[in-house]
Structure 1
């Protein structure tokens, strides 16, 4: 009898263990990030008070590297109707490898009930509902055969007239190098600043008077130096068929980069994490000590570059939204630093250029020990301080992914593989490594040419610093006849 009782108990224990194992297997089908978000309120993207850069995966210490932002593209719904934004990943193996669902905490109650229901009926929940492929299919369902519709025209002609409105600390030097090379190799005419400055007019909106004079009879093709946007002046100087582009970066990582680049810690005598607690109180100090560029970068630097007058007070939602719609009409393409590959591919398509024309090495990249860690609380403060730039970034993040959708997700995926392969090939040909150099109060990585690379024109062009290339082009323009 005792033996029978023990056998019965062993059977019950084994059944319990098997049940637990089966439950764990099924639970793995539920996206752990989604479950985590259900009970976390500091990841919401619905208000400035609770915002952090989209797509970050926080380590246990609650901080992240400021230069590893990933920004989202699409909004969809869970099976229970909760609003979910799916965020495409950057090319960063340190981040998780599946799309993330970030849910606003206004829906947390319903979502929590939904998740509990899924545990009670696990067989009805399929993780693939949140896959990037399925979400892209939903986006594309109203655009049948879009990849076929968007095939590259074999009759398009390369465009030669282009303006890059170069913004600060956004990766714009990488795009500038592409334009410099194209214009140089096709003997196009550049608009360049007077003297040896990299800026057209510093803090003043662009005017033709800031441009180095050209011999009579020459029409400008390319402008790619820093300038404040002034549509009237640009249109008056450039040909009618000019392409206008600019580039943006997430305001949090952009601001962290500006703080280091302009060496504000030297003037304020506080580290970045202390400065972020109350940026406004340092504004007057900055004006007393620094006479040029950093003042205009102190608040909403991207909108300032794009022509808006920026002060300590907020501009107001209606004013900013009006400016955003105006900029959307003015620019053919607004690139995103966080998605440089997609940006360059869209630029290639827009300009009808070749792969070789748009190959690039990232320029002015800082060494990792020079990048401040930014916590969610710091991010929140920076987004409050740069609220108008945050509106700008979110607006053009949406237009950017609309253009990617129109280009075709599958086509983009294939072209990214082509681009990466070609970049690796030219790196192998041109480079033998990098070296760390000190520039403008920080340390950055500079590329070193291989023996073969030193003999190759394209290799040399791709690693030439912006100012050195500009001086070369100045000399070339002065010899126009």
Structure 2
């Protein structure tokens, strides 16, 4: 018999009360003072209490709860009604017609080589314009590649260390660590990130981290590396987290034992049967072929005595797909939205809708783009290069099998969200977004596009150069009005310089008195 749906909210309320009762007293005011917690928020708090060592147990509990709610038919997979896609309406470029409050407590996991610098740019600009407070690293990253620690946030003081203004946005490079993130940001913040096809990511990472990763440094080419990766790759070697499953690493997920030890199976992994994913003709890899689908995006169920059961975490084979399923389920319990780099503009429209922002808030220029594109992106029309690119793509996805499963999962979830949003509505909003970007580029930029860094003499706008390929940047047009100059600078400023600007704004340097004056004022 189907349970009464009215019992489901009360069960969620009971869960939230149990979680809040478990929270240590000093943390209770900031984490549990807003009344009954939503189910997803309660999950985050529970994970905050247990920490990463209890990931398997946490996953089992959360998936059991989620599966029970699915059986009961309750639509409780989102925390707030405001996160649900609103009824179809004509997209608006400005915030004046918005019928909901914009969300300003944000956690963005900035993944490497996935278009995340462009997302970071729009967060910088939005927070700067609205006077929001960023959780900033002392330098430019939060101790990466180590797991994020709250103590690395500049100006952060734990409970009992005095009052401090709240943080609104956490968005710079880190290896995700939910327990420590929730020390800094409220659990009802909007969590989002971005992923990219691991084949395209591998091409970008190889050229960018050639001097950083010992595996890439020893390989003469990406093709040679992927043909026999274990001849170059050593788990735990300096910088080699860039060389395999970089997305999985950035999300802070644990690795199967065979990927953590230095003595691995000498045989390369079998090429997995890749599930069907949609790939735009203009994507980074236009030659990718989509084989038959394979269910990678939902945990397997077993049937016993006429009932369906979730396998317990203790029974999981860490080298099997079940391990991947639980990792993806855990990410679903934490992240509200994951963007897909191959559908960047579509993702931005969904982000604006989820945050109740206007399209102008997510219009921006591409940042940290490498000059000349990436290897393998110009093979169309040349059969020999096309075959080589297809082979490289298959090998990259097989070698980065955890990233491929992660990408497929969030690709599917993005398109499910697009279907709910409405295809025609999305196409209209994307066209408007691109038209607005083109208009801003013509108005703000000399030449209307990104340029080779050798032409950029303004150090405030010259992007940091790293890796074997030049990183493009922007030059502003002359003759802009003061208002336009300010906004165009926000659009064109690279991430490192913008971080320094925000740092100086939040932590203005103290003006020290001259030595003679100090002596006069001394007792």
d(CA) in 2 for partners of 1:480, 1:400: 43
Return 5+ residue gaps in structure 1 as ranges. Answer: 1-145
1:467 deviates by 0.6
CA contact (8 A) 2:443 2:477 kept: yes
1:209 aligns with 2:151: yes
d(CA) in 2 for partners of 1:275, 1:315: 23
* Pair 1:178–1:147, CA change in 2 (3 A): closer
* Pair 1:429–1:273, CA change in 2 (3 A): same
1:342 deviates by 0.5
1:423 aligns with 2:437: yes
Equivalent in the alignment of 1:300: 245
Equivalent in the alignment of 2:88: 150
1:330 deviates by 0.6
Computed over aligned residues only, the root mean square deviation of the Cα atoms, in angstroms, reads 2.5
Equivalent in the alignment of 2:518: none
* Pair 1:457–1:286, CA change in 2 (3 A): same
1:162 aligns with 2:102: no
1:259 aligns with 2:206: yes
* Pair 1:285–1:411, CA change in 2 (3 A): closer
d(CA) in 1 for partners of 2:155, 2:86: 46
1:371 deviates by 2.9
d(CA) in 2 for partners of 1:351, 1:474: 25
Return 5+ residue gaps in structure 2 as ranges. Answer: 1-83, 92-96, 158-162, 265-317, 378-387, 455-464, 511-523
Which protein has the larger Cα radius of gyration, Structure 1 or Structure 2?
Answer: 1
Deviates further, 163-172 or 361-370: 361-370
Q: TM-score, normalised on structure 1?
A: 0.64
User: Which of 323, 338, 348 is equivalent to 2:327?
Assistant: 323
Equivalent in the alignment of 1:55: none
CA contact (8 A) 2:111 2:173 kept: yes
1:200 aligns with 2:147: no
1:443 deviates by 1.3
d(CA) in 2 for partners of 1:149, 1:243: 20
* Pair 1:148–1:276, CA change in 2 (3 A): closer
1:470 aligns with 2:412: no
Deviates further, 359-368 or 325-334: 359-368
CA contact (8 A) 1:435 1:447 kept: yes
**Deviation per residue, 1:5-54 (Å, 9 max, x gap):** xxxxxxxxxxxxxxxxxxxxxxxxxxxxxxxxxxxxxxxxxxxxxxxxxx
Equivalent in the alignment of 2:392: 378
d(CA) in 2 for partners of 1:192, 1:236: 14
SS at 2:474's partner residue? Answer: strand
Q: How many residue pairs align between the two structures?
A: 329
Alignment of 1:95-110 (within 5 A): none
Equivalent in the alignment of 2:474: 447
Alignment of 1:405-420 (within 5 A): 405-420=419-434
CA contact (8 A) 1:164 1:244 kept: yes
* Pair 1:329–1:355, CA change in 2 (3 A): same
Equivalent in the alignment of 2:382: none
SS at 1:420's partner residue? Answer: helix
Equivalent in the alignment of 1:114: none
**Deviation per residue, 1:329-380 (Å, 9 max, x gap):** 2111100111111011111111111222111111111222653456111112
Equivalent in the alignment of 1:397: 411
CA contact (8 A) 2:175 2:251 kept: yes
d(CA) in 1 for partners of 2:110, 2:480: 28
Alignment of 1:162-311 (within 5 A): 162-194=106-138, 196=139, 198-214=140-156, 216-264=163-211, 267-284=217-234, 287=237, 291=238, 294-310=239-255, 311=259
d(CA) in 2 for partners of 1:409, 1:429: 30
**Deviation per residue, 1:299-350 (Å, 9 max, x gap):** 1100110012342668431111101011012111100111111011111111
Q: TM-score, normalised on structure 2?
A: 0.59
* Pair 1:149–1:375, CA change in 2 (3 A): same
Equivalent in the alignment of 1:339: 343
* Pair 1:397–1:480, CA change in 2 (3 A): farther
